[in-house]
Amino acid sequence: MPSERTLSIIKPDATRRNLTGRINALFEEKGLRIIAQKRLQLTQAQAEAFYAVHKARPFFKDLVTFMISGPVVAQVLEGENAVAKNREVMGATDPKKAEQGTIRALHAESIEANSVHGSDSAENAAQEIAFFFAGIDIVG
Ligand code: CMP
């Protein structure tokens, strides 16, 4: 399996509780390499643009409010099968359904405040990486 890249976001519920290092350790233990990373405060327009695909969903407005409620850490993860591997490490969107030992089972507060985001396909990963990072920011 060739090396792949995916976009990860450590969400405001996790940065608020100072969990960035613990979450990063879980990525690294599972063989994902953090090849770009920055902490930033999203604006409302940026959060709406990032989650545009969910615009029609009932949770969209609350999701945007939550995502701008504090800093996030955007990162590019690289490794074999990185998109699927990251989704495995994160666990299910709803922490009640997440497998034991996953980031969301360990740390998420709710389906909304679920600590991390990860791209759901290689195609979306490329778009989401380009949303946050220029090529020069990524050192593989
Ligand atoms: P994420 O992987 O970032 O993609 C969309 C986000 O919407 C999701 O994680 C959750 O944080 C949030 N969300 C809030 N409510 C729901 C819901 N009912 N179903 C799916 N996602 C939800």
Whole-prediction pTM: 0.97
Summarised one tens digit per residue, pLDDT across range 118-131 is 999 999 999 999 99
User: What does residue 40 show for φ and ψ, rounded to 5 degrees?
Assistant: -150, 160
* CA 101, 105, 19, 139 torsion-angle sign: positive
pLDDT score for 96: 98
pLDDT of 78 strictly over 70: yes
Q: Which of 133, 126, 139, 132 is nearest to 5 (CA)?
A: 126
Ligand 1 center to 51 CA (angstroms) = 10
Residues in the chain: 140
Residue ranges with strand state E in 41-138 = 72-80, 116-118
Verify whether ligand 1 is closer than 6 Å to residue 87 (CB atom).
no
Both tokens assigned to 4: 């792949």
Per-residue pLDDT, averaged over 16-38, amounts to 98
pLDDT score for 14: 99
Ligand 1 site-directed mutation target among 50, 55, 59, 115, most atoms within 8 Å of CB: 59
